């Protein structure tokens, strides 16, 4: 039986969950009374999420490639087990390997309240172990409803401690980045990656007039994307994360990336629930760390 047939017969839920091919990737399509979503098994990567009556909340580039071993431009890439460049080996892929390898679907369930939950586990093999020689199990649980919840859980199954960097690198759809702001980071220190990593302090809400690439430290677990163009605020709440990355490539960098399109940057912003830079997690043998991000739309901006 083909992989799609097997998935549909084992996990399909009539009217709520089915599996289909998008480009080279196998994806789960969720439709419920509250929302629709698609999730690629490669990377356990949420590609779309649209609550009923809303414009899409998650941005997916019109030029995204759905190819084996390549990260999708948009959605909710899972950066794991490091964030950004690897600490001491520049040959290893930026943001880790979790977003470009297969994950196995362990379970899918229609919850009594109408939400649909999918549990994925990263498939480890020789190639992943060569990059990350630590015994660990990592799971990603995606719950689709009027809110979207993504929960990344890492267990150290070995007998030595390790350090973990990670992010739910979520691309959000905005009506016009030049008018959008991010609230909830006021007063936080950040590392400014477009200014050589200089340490600065945020004054007021974050506004966008040029390339923005910042790691906010000691963040409070709640922030919002205020979007006057779409007349809504996207609320982001998190647990198990103490850093928040805010990124928009603006024109020049987006041009170089090749999968943004010319105007793509105008309609997106990444606000990433993370453990990055000095906020990496030290995980002792036998310990589990859980990082959760929850997204919901509040009707009016501001």
Residues that bind ligand BG6 (CB under 6 A): 71, 94-95, 169, 193, 213, 245, 247, 272
Question: How many residues in the chain?
Answer: 302
CB closer to ligand BG6, 172 vs 247: 247
CB closer to ligand BG6, 99 vs 232: 99
Pick the catalytic residue from 45, 86, 95, 272.
272
Pick the catalytic residue from 45, 95, 169, 242.
169
CB closer to ligand BG6, 74 vs 224: 74
Active site residue 169: yes
What is the rounded CA–CA span in Å between residue 206 and residue 247? 11
- The string of DSSP letters for 25-70 reads EEEEEEE-SSEEEEEETBTTEEEEEEETTS--SB-B-TT----TTS
Supply the minimum distance, in Å, between the C-beta of residue 266 and ligand BG6.
Answer: 17
Q: Give Cα 86 to chain centroid, integer Å.
A: 19
Supply the minimum distance, in Å, between the C-beta of residue 214 and ligand BG6.
Answer: 8
Supply the minimum distance, in Å, between the C-beta of residue 193 and ligand BG6.
Answer: 5
- Give the tokens for residue 164: 């973990």
**Nearest Cα to 298, choosing from 244, 224, 229?**
224
What is the rounded CA–CA span in Å between residue 167 and residue 291? 9
According to DSSP, residue 245 is labeled E
Supply the minimum distance, in Å, between the C-beta of residue 195 and ligand BG6.
Answer: 13
Supply the minimum distance, in Å, between the C-beta of residue 7 and ligand BG6.
Answer: 27
CB closer to ligand BG6, 49 vs 265: 265
Cβ-contact 268, 74 below 8 angstroms: yes
CB closer to ligand BG6, 273 vs 292: 273
- Give the tokens for residue 79: 């950066």
Task: Report how far apart, in Å, the C-alpha atoms of 172 and of each of 24, 56, 74, 125, 209 are.
Answer: 24, 9, 8, 32, 17
The residue nearest ligand BG6 at its CB is: 247
- Catalytic residue positions? 169, 272
């Amino acid at each position: 039986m083909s992989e799609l047939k097997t998935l549909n017969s084992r996990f399909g839920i009539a009217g709520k969950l089915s599996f289909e091919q998008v480009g080279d990737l196998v994806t789960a399509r969720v439709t419920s009374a509250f929302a629709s979503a698609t999730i690629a098994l490669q990377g356990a990567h949420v590609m779309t999420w649209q609550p009923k009556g809303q414009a899409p909340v998650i941005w997916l580039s019109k030029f995204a490639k759905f190819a084996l071993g390549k990260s999708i431009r948009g959605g909710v890439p899972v950066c794991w087990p490091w964030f950004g460049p690897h600490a001491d080996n520049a040959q290893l892929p930026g943001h880790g390997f979790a977003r470009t390898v297969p994950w196995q679907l362990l379970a899918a369930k229609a919850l009594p309240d109408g939400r649909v939950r999918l549990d994925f586990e990263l498939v480890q093999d020789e190639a992943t172990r060569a990059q990350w020689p630590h015994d660990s199990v990592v799971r990603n649980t995606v719950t689709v409803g009027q809110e979207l919840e993504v929960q990344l859980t890492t267990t150290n199954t070995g007998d030595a401690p390790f350090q973990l960097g990670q992010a739910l690198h979520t691309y959000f759809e905005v009506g016009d980045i030049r008018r959008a702001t991010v609230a909830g980071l006021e007063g936080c220190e950040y590392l400014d990656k477009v200014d050589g990593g200089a340490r600065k302090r945020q004054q007021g809400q974050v506004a966008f007039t040029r390339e923005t690439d910042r790691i906010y430290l000691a963040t409070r677990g709640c922030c919002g994307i205020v979007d006057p163009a779409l007349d809504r605020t996207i609320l982001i709440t998190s647990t198990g994360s103490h850093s928040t990355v805010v990124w928009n490539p603006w024109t020049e960098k987006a041009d170089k990336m090749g999968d943004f399109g010319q105007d793509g940057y105008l309609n997106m912003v990444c606000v990433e629930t993370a453990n990055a830079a000095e906020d990496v997690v030290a995980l002792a043998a036998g310990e589990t760390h859980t990082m959760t991000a929850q997204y919901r739309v509040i009707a009016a901006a501001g």
